[in-house]
Amino acid sequence: MRRNGLLIMLKLITLVGSFFFVMVLAILNGAIGNLCASGVMIFASLGVAKVIGENVVLPFGWIIALTIGCGILRGILRYFEQYSNHYIAFKLLAIIRDKIFTKLRILAPAKLESKKKGSIISLLTADIETLEVFYAHTISPIAIALISSITIIIFVSIISSIYLGLVALISYLIIGVLLPIISSKALKSTGVKYRNEFASFSAYFLDSIKGVKEIILNNSENRRKEEINKRSTKLFNNTTLIKRKSSISFGITEVLVSLSIIVSLIVGIILVNNNELTLGFMIIGVVAITSSFGPIIAISSLPSNLTQTFASGDRVLNLMEEAPQVIDVSNKNDFKYEKLDVNNLDFKYDNELILKDINLNINKGEIVGIVGESGCGKSTLLKLLLRFYESKGIKYNDIDINEINTNSLYENVTMASQTTYLFDDTILYNLKIAKEDASEEEIIEACKKASIHDFIMSLPDGYNTKVGPTLNNLSAGEKQRIGLARCFLRGSELILLDEVTSNVDAINEGIILKSLKDLKNEKTIILVSHRKSTMAIADRIYEIDKGRIIEYGR
Ligand SMILES: Nc1ncnc2c1ncn2[C@@H]1O[C@H](COP(=O)(O)OP(=O)(O)OP(=O)(O)O)[C@@H](O)[C@H]1O
Ligand SMILES: [Mg+2]
């Protein structure tokens, strides 16, 4: 879904919520601060006007004090403006991260199983950072420019002349509205192209780093290097183009500011000549206009990053508004696993039916095997049993899975998936994920069942050894066995095991299978595997073939 800039802006502002007042404070600080900056010049010119004999009621002492006061106040207000803007921005980023995390929890696991996983990671990192620009450097500059410009126009019109006020109004409209619109149009296509190329370059580069082993083994370094060079040159040319375009826009802004000042001076001189305005008050008016372009210039430099901010905002809003595949169930039924019945289950991810008319019944204490060729839908079936996706036809204890409280489902059913994710922490921490209050004995018992205890004890730091993606210090089989230990530790009634012995050697597999067999009668196990040796412990075996399931042996 693509929204227009205004809608994105409005929606992002509504996310501000309780910070709205801090934001108003920041804007007032900024606006008054800018007016103080103009005030220094205006009071100084008031002094000049008094010197040349204008009727100024304020005594000199006051004028000097006000000039200095404005200068000091400007500094203080500027500090508070920056402070409150960044305070809001970073607080908001924390809130948005939290909202996204909560949303991901609702969307997960279906969303995180999908092919769009990579874009979520960039959303959590780059896009949210970009929003800082929006909250700290976009909303308030626009509001500040609006407030201070209107004040200056009114001030000049009253104190000096309505014609000078008009000159100010027209200048602000051209520099602060028209020019940004034109230059954002000119920059838009280049900006979008740059962003896409940047994303694709980063992805390619990251991919190359991840696959460096493959690249070396296949001797394809030069091809990769050439491609990286090509993409980097393209990116460089694009950056140059953007810089050139935005430099032109900066240049035009400066020229227009100078022109506006010259025009206001000419208008002022004409007014003085026609005796419609005295020299002193003409000077005050022209000086007020001259000193007032700061906030407007700040707006005209927005478009170069605004398109990027909007694109990021759009993606963040898209995620926030995405409807989840499944909604957690609460306040319905809790259960304690006795039996599982699957009747006439159909399932498709996109268009193609993966599972057709699946029927199976699994009683307490059974070990049931599921086989079938790669890609036939074995993992999909297990995911459905955990309600990763919505489906019809799955019943636990005769209760429809969609009527079972999600917490109760996760209490009763657990899965060791095909790939085990280990967090960057100790082995102990990674095991306790499954059961926070597990005792030492429980942990050791689970690890013994998963045939990983001896290995862990052989490590210098034992259970306190650090593991995880950044260290990547465990073999595939060791990771798998930790995943299995988690499963044992969890102690659920129904255990779904997806290829948990695929990377394990025969000796360790033997130990694991014996543990599983010992669990029989106590727990129920569904075992997915390609291995004949693994299937040997199954009471019954189902085969999935072209989406259909057949029970073919004991
Ligand atoms: N999130 C998804 N979105 C779309 N299609 C998917 C998704 N996950 C899996 N598939 C597709 O569904 C089919 C079944 O996948 P599944 O992972 O269930 O197979 P599998 O039987 O477990 O295979 P393997 O033995 O290789 O693990 C495959 O063709 C796969 O490409
Ligand atoms: Mg699978």
- How many angstroms from the chain centroid is the CA of residue 95? 11
Quote the tokens at residue 365: 């204490």
Same domain, 442 and 312: no
Length of the chain: 554
Which residue has the CA at smallest separation from atom 19 of ligand 1?
Answer: 375
346 phi, psi to nearest 5 deg: -115, 145
Same domain, 345 and 317: no
CA–CA dist 84, 29 (Å, integer): 9
Whether 333 is covered by a domain: the verdict is: no
Same domain, 253 and 369: no
Ion ligand 2 nearby residues (CB, 5 A): 379
CA of 294 from ligand 1 middle (Å) equals 58
CA–CA dist 205, 228 (Å, integer): 7
Q: Say what the pLDDT of residue 88 is.
A: 81
CA of 368 from ligand 2 middle (Å) equals 16
Q: Say what the pLDDT of residue 4 is.
A: 83
Q: Residue 215 carries which side chain, given as an amino acid letter?
A: I
> Based on C-alpha coordinates, what's the Rg of the chain?
34
Whether 330 is covered by a domain: the verdict is: no
Same domain, 367 and 312: no
Whether 169 is covered by a domain: the verdict is: yes
Same domain, 39 and 75: yes
- What string of DSSP letters covers 220-248? -HHHHHHHHHHHHHHHHHHHHHHHHHHHH
Whether 329 is covered by a domain: the verdict is: no
Q: Is 377 in the pocket of ligand 1 (CB under 6 A)?
A: yes
Can you give 405-474 as a three-state secondary structure string?
A: CHHHHHHHEEEECCCCCCCCEEHHHHHHCCCCCCCHHHHHHHHHHCCCHHHHHHCCCHHHCEECCCCCCC
Residue/partner pairs of 519-524 with CB below 8 Å, 24 or more apart: 519/449, 519/495, 520/365, 520/366, 520/367, 521/365, 522/365, 523/365, 523/492, 523/493, 523/494, 523/495, 524/337, 524/340, 524/362, 524/363, 524/364, 524/365, 524/366, 524/367, 524/368, 524/493, 524/494, 524/495
Which residue has the CA at smallest separation from atom 11 of ligand 1?
Answer: 375
CA of 205 from ligand 1 middle (Å) equals 27
> Ligand 1 pocket check: which of 356, 378, 548 to mutate, most ligand atoms within 8 Å of Cβ?
378
Same domain, 295 and 353: no
Same domain, 424 and 476: yes
Query: How many Cβ atoms are within 10 Å of 446's Cβ, its own excluded?
Result: 25
Domain of 544, CATH number, reads 3.40.50.300
Give which of 176, 183, 143 is closest to 33, Cα–Cα. 143
Ligand 1 atom, smallest distance to 418 CA: 27
Q: Is 408 in the pocket of ligand 1 (CB under 6 A)?
A: no
Q: Is 413 in the pocket of ligand 1 (CB under 6 A)?
A: no
Same domain, 369 and 302: no
Task: Single out the residue in 321, 356, 374 at which a domain terminates.
Answer: 321
Same domain, 175 and 270: yes
Number of domains in the chain: 2
Q: Is 401 in the pocket of ligand 1 (CB under 6 A)?
A: no
Give which of 293, 260, 292, 288 is closest to 49, Cα–Cα. 288
CA of 544 from ligand 1 middle (Å) equals 13
- What spatial distance separates the first Cα and last Cα of the chain, rounded to whole Å? 51
Give which of 20, 37, 143 is closest to 92, Cα–Cα. 20
Q: Is 370 in the pocket of ligand 1 (CB under 6 A)?
A: no
Domain that holds residue 501: 339-553
CA of 395 from ligand 1 middle (Å) equals 23
Whether 390 is covered by a domain: the verdict is: yes
Domain of 179, CATH number, reads 1.20.1560.10
CA–CA dist 242, 263 (Å, integer): 31
Same domain, 314 and 248: yes
Whether 334 is covered by a domain: the verdict is: no
Whether 225 is covered by a domain: the verdict is: yes
Q: Say what the pLDDT of residue 125 is.
A: 75
| pLDDT in single tens digits along all 554 residues of the chain | 578 888 888 888 887 777 778 888 888 999 999 999 999 999 999 999 999 988 888 999 999 999 999 999 999 998 988 888 888 888 888 888 888 888 888 888 877 776 566 667 777 777 888 888 888 788 888 999 999 999 999 999 999 999 999 999 999 999 999 998 888 888 877 877 887 788 788 888 888 988 899 999 999 999 999 999 999 999 999 889 988 988 998 899 999 999 999 999 999 999 999 999 999 999 999 999 999 999 999 888 776 667 778 888 888 888 888 888 888 999 999 999 999 999 999 999 888 899 999 999 999 999 999 999 999 999 999 999 999 999 999 999 999 999 999 999 999 999 998 889 999 999 999 999 999 999 999 999 999 999 999 999 999 999 999 998 888 889 989 999 999 999 999 999 999 999 988 888 999 899 899 999 998 888 999 999 888 888 999 999 999 998 888 887 66
Task: Single out the residue in 270, 294, 321 at which a domain terminates.
Answer: 321
* Strand order across the beta sheet in which 494-498 lies: 413-416, 494-498, 524-528, 367-371, 540-545, 548-553
> Ligand 1 pocket check: which of 376, 383, 528, 535 to mutate, most ligand atoms within 8 Å of Cβ?
376
Whether 238 is covered by a domain: the verdict is: yes
Q: Say what the pLDDT of residue 87 is.
A: 86
Q: Is 375 in the pocket of ligand 1 (CB under 6 A)?
A: yes
Same domain, 298 and 230: yes
- pTM of the entire structure? 0.74
Same domain, 296 and 364: no
